[in-house]
Amino acid sequence: MAKSNAATVAAYIKEADAARRPALARLRKLVREVLPSSTEVMDWGLPTYQKNGKMVTAFASQKNYIAFYPGETAIKAHKKELAGISCGKGCIRYGRPEKIDFAVVRSLLENIATRWE
C-alpha cells in the first residue's frame, strides 16, 4: 500500500497487510508515547505526526517495506545502531516487520523530542 485514502491512522493500520499491523500499531504507540504533544494526522497518504503544522515524523507500509521517517539528524545520531538497515536521507526502510528494533525506534523518537517537544 504505497498511498492510502484512509481518513485516520487507525483505518490506515486496519487496511494494511495483516502481518504488518502489529508493527505499525507499535510504531504508532511509540510515537504517541514519546511525542505526546504532536498531532496525529493522515497526510500525503500516510500517518504523519506534526508540531505547529510541521511534520515531525511519519511511517508507512510500502509495497516492499515499512518506512519510518525520523529525519536526517536522528538517523545520523544512530548510524551505529542502524548498521545493516536500509536508510535514506531521512527514512529507514525495514524489509520485514520483525527487523524493527523498537528500542532503537524509541531512541530515534527521543532524539526527535529533544528538538521538537
Q: Tens digits of per-residue pLDDT, 13-50?
A: 999 999 999 999 999 999 999 999 999 999 989 999 99
Yes or no: say if 46 and 59 are a contact pair by the CB < 8 Å rule: yes
Q: Is residue 2 part of a domain?
A: no
Q: Is residue 61 part of a domain?
A: yes
Q: Is residue 4 part of a domain?
A: no
Q: How confident is the model at residue 115 (pLDDT cuts 50, 70, 90)?
A: confident
Look up the domain containing 86 and give its range. Answer: 9-116
pTM comes to: 0.92
Q: Is residue 13 part of a domain?
A: yes
Residue 77 belongs to domain with CATH number? 3.90.1150.200
Say how many domains are in the chain.
1
Q: Is residue 3 part of a domain?
A: no
